[in-house]
Amino acid sequence: MLGPHMMALLKARVSAAVIYRTIDRVSVGDLRKRSDLKKEVAAGHVVFDNVCFTYPTRDKSVLNGLSWEARAGETIALVGPSGCGKSTSIALLARLYQANSGRVTIDGVDVHDIDVSALRKRGWQQLVETPSGFILYVLRCASCLSAPQLSEFEITAQRNVQNPRSQQNHGRIGIVQQEPQLFNGTIKENISLNRDDICEDKIRKAAEIANATGFIEQLHNGFDTYLGPGGVTLSGGQKQRIAIARAIVTDPCLLFLDEATSALDVNNEKIVQAALEKAAKGRTTITIAHRLSTIQNVGRIFVLEQGKVVEVGSHSELMDRAGIYSKLVKAQQFDEVVRSDKALEKSSDLAAEVGRDR
């Protein structure tokens, strides 16, 4: 059964060896062996206190005394021009980098005193824990084998997967990005990332919150429908709703929305925005917004410029101040009017051309 695809298996094995070397490399700031690390994040109260940061490969500082707070269960937004430090804030919070100075805390505990697996443990770790499981994962993503050809190998891989840690705690951070990453598997697998401890009820509940149940149940095989490479069978809005369901299926206390609607058209944006608002209920939600029209209902908006907060308030409060935020909103509104006028002009020209042809 696997004979014709042995070369693909061998290539996957070589690739796995390279990736395993990277995974096993111990970083200078590796704190996982400390016995005093906090194992759980409960409430989701986030504080940035005078944080400064410079990327290792750059000379210019990105954050320059950045301070902001998101209370437990609160939804806030970070806005500002490109390069002001919005995405960098999320990277520091997820411990992808370490601040040069200042403190980033969750529930009063410095993020570097929290077990990293308690922050961002993801379901794919369970699948790739063993060599056979990893090869299966690589083949799925690369679409080297079809679903029937994978079945026998998958059974063997799943038997070999033993990761009791995945039963103990879920990742406490959920992330929805601008471009959702979907795999060549079923909808159910894409939402759960193939974790055995995520039951079908949780998958369906997450899909319902993400406003995805309607279109999923209209598909021929429902939640067992194969999506194809990159979710090619779905529209942009449908992909994003699957990504939202994946982000909340483990019930994280922190939800990051990194320009989650900026790549969508107006109709899909409204549907996805409604799903995001449902997903944000009951958890601390930090939104990085490009389209400022999507954050008008957010309680507090932090406006960043040159790595620090320059304005704070609700949408109406910031518009009344006529500061940086107000200028950003008006600039976007002007751009939308220009685009609308151009689209109308193009439509009129096309109609006139059709009339001449007749």
DSSP labels, 239-250: HHHHHHHHHHTT
Instruction: Confirm whether 91 is domain-assigned.
Output: yes
**Paired tokens of 305:** 């410029």
Read off the pLDDT of residues 29-56 as tens digits, 9 standing for 90 and up. 555 556 667 667 778 899 999 999 999 8
Q: Which domain holds residue 225?
A: 46-121+169-321
Cite the DSSP H helix spans in the chain. Answer: 6-24, 86-93, 116-120, 124-127, 131-142, 147-160, 187-192, 200-209, 213-218, 236-248, 266-280, 315-321, 324-357
**Residues 186 and 223 sit within 8 Å (Cβ to Cβ):** yes
Task: Kindly report the average pLDDT of the chain as a whole number.
Answer: 78
Instruction: Confirm whether 156 is domain-assigned.
Output: no
Give the count of beta carbons closer than 10 Å to the beta carbon of residue 288: 22
For the residues 287-300, what does the mean pLDDT come to? 87
Q: Which amino acid is at 209?
A: I
| pLDDT on residue 14 | 85
Phi–psi pair at 115, nearest 5 degrees: -55, 125
pTM: 0.71
For the residues 140-164, what does the mean pLDDT come to? 42
SS3 string, 29-59, reads: CCCCCCCCCECCCCCCCEEEEEEEECCCCCC
> Which residues does 245 contact at the CB level (< 8 Å), separation at least 6?
191, 203, 206, 207, 209, 210, 212
Instruction: Confirm whether 258 is domain-assigned.
Output: yes
Q: Which residue shows structure tokens 């005193």?
A: 113
Read off the pLDDT of residues 203-235 as tens digits, 9 standing for 90 and up. 999 999 999 999 999 999 999 999 888 888 898
Instruction: Confirm whether 261 is domain-assigned.
Output: yes
- How many structural domains compose the chain? 1
Instruction: Confirm whether 132 is domain-assigned.
Output: no
Q: Where residue 237 sits, what CATH number does that domain have?
A: 3.40.50.300
Instruction: Confirm whether 87 is domain-assigned.
Output: yes
Read off the pLDDT of residues 80-129 as tens digits, 9 standing for 90 and up. 988 898 989 988 988 888 899 999 999 998 988 887 776 665 433 333 33
Give the count of beta carbons closer than 10 Å to the beta carbon of residue 260: 29
Q: State the number of CA atoms in the 13 A half-sphere of 284 facing the CB.
A: 18
Instruction: Confirm whether 144 is domain-assigned.
Output: no
Instruction: Confirm whether 341 is domain-assigned.
Output: no
Q: Which amino acid is at 230?
A: G
Closest CA relative to residue 148, chosen from 2, 294, 343: 2
Strands 308-313 and 300-305, bridge-based pairing: antiparallel
Strand partners, 53: 63
- The three-point CA angle 13-165-36 to 5° equals 120
pLDDT band, very low/low/confident/very high, at 160 (cuts 50, 70, 90): very low
